[in-house]
Structure 1
Amino acid sequence: MKALLFGLVGLILWSCNQGKVEDTHLLNGYWEIEKVEFPSGETKTYQVNTVVDYFLLTGDSSGVRQKVMPQLDGTFISNGDQEPFRITSRGDLLYLDYNKEGVTHSEQVISLNQEKFVVINKDELIYYYKPFKKFELK
């Protein structure tokens, strides 16, 4: 039953795939998690993020991901820890394949455009990102 459900979710996600290899440049920049959807259907929404993901493409199909903490003055603090990734295409699907010190994992890109970035991992967690907007003090 679980395999059937995973297959169905994969088919739905595949049919909705909006990430294209030529669009990967849109990944560059700061992204914050908007919500996470669990396999059970539950959703966790994030109103405020103290840590955001910074993606930097360093080549045609490679890059690094880094967790950074936005500051009120518009700067970011990082511990310098970067996770290298490679963008791969498997059939019509786009993946971010991470490999840090021999530890590997992949995320399938469901959608990537200027307004959103959505991935699913092996645990069937779907992460919805939006571009990070700097804090505004009023």
Structure 2
Amino acid sequence: MAKYSGLLMLLLFISCNSTVDKEQLPLLNGYWEIKEVTFSDGTKKEFKVNSTVDYISLDSMHGFRKKVNPKFNGTFETSDDAEPLSIRISSDSIFMEYNTPLNSWKETLLSLSKSNFSVKNDQGVIYSYQRFEPINIAP
């Protein structure tokens, strides 16, 4: 019995350890909306409705991230502002690094799938995103 419980614990540990593989990075491309923020003290803030959506474009290890405003006809309103994005892999972690004239910061990519991703910043705040599904109200 002890042999099986040890194996079960190992399997649970492996399944709970969500690492992102480099081959998954193209999944970041597209439109994402913030779903939840978990602060370093454990408190959470949920976002039910978002007026802006993040658009991520990644080619290899470089790209950009920009805010866009979805419209009811399925299109987006945007500006020319974009945050340059670089991916850095170090110590079995993947970092999303941003560098603008006003600021630079990095986020650790915690999880990534076709429909969700989450990152953690240097202050310990976790941002959870879900893939944006446009609302198309055609006349």
TM range (shorter): 0.7 to 0.9
Rg (Cα) greater in structure? 2
Please provide the CA RMSD for this pair: 1.8
Once the two structures are superposed, residues 24-63 of structure 1 have per-residue CA deviations (whole angstroms, 9 ceiling, x without a partner) of: 0000000000000011111100001000100001x31001
TM-score of the superposed pair, with normalisation by structure 1: 0.84
- How many angstroms apart in 1 are the aligned matches of 2:102 and 2:24? 28
Unaligned 5+ residue runs, structure 2?
1-12
Moved >3 Å (runs of 4+): none
Aligned residues: 124
User: What secondary structure is seen at the aligned counterpart in 2 of 1:98?
Assistant: strand
- How many angstroms apart in 2 are the aligned matches of 1:86 and 1:79? 21
> What percentage of aligned pairs have identical amino acids?
36
Partner of 2:3: none
User: What secondary structure is seen at the aligned counterpart in 1 of 2:23?
Assistant: helix
Partner of 1:101: 101
Unaligned 5+ residue runs, structure 1?
1-11
- How many angstroms apart in 1 are the aligned matches of 2:97 and 2:21? 15
TM-score of the superposed pair, with normalisation by structure 2: 0.83
Contact map agreement 1:17 1:93 (CA 8 A) in 2: no
Once the two structures are superposed, residues 70-116 of structure 1 have per-residue CA deviations (whole angstroms, 9 ceiling, x without a partner) of: 00000001122100011010110000011112631000000011021
Equivalent AA in structure 2 for residue 70 of structure 1:
P
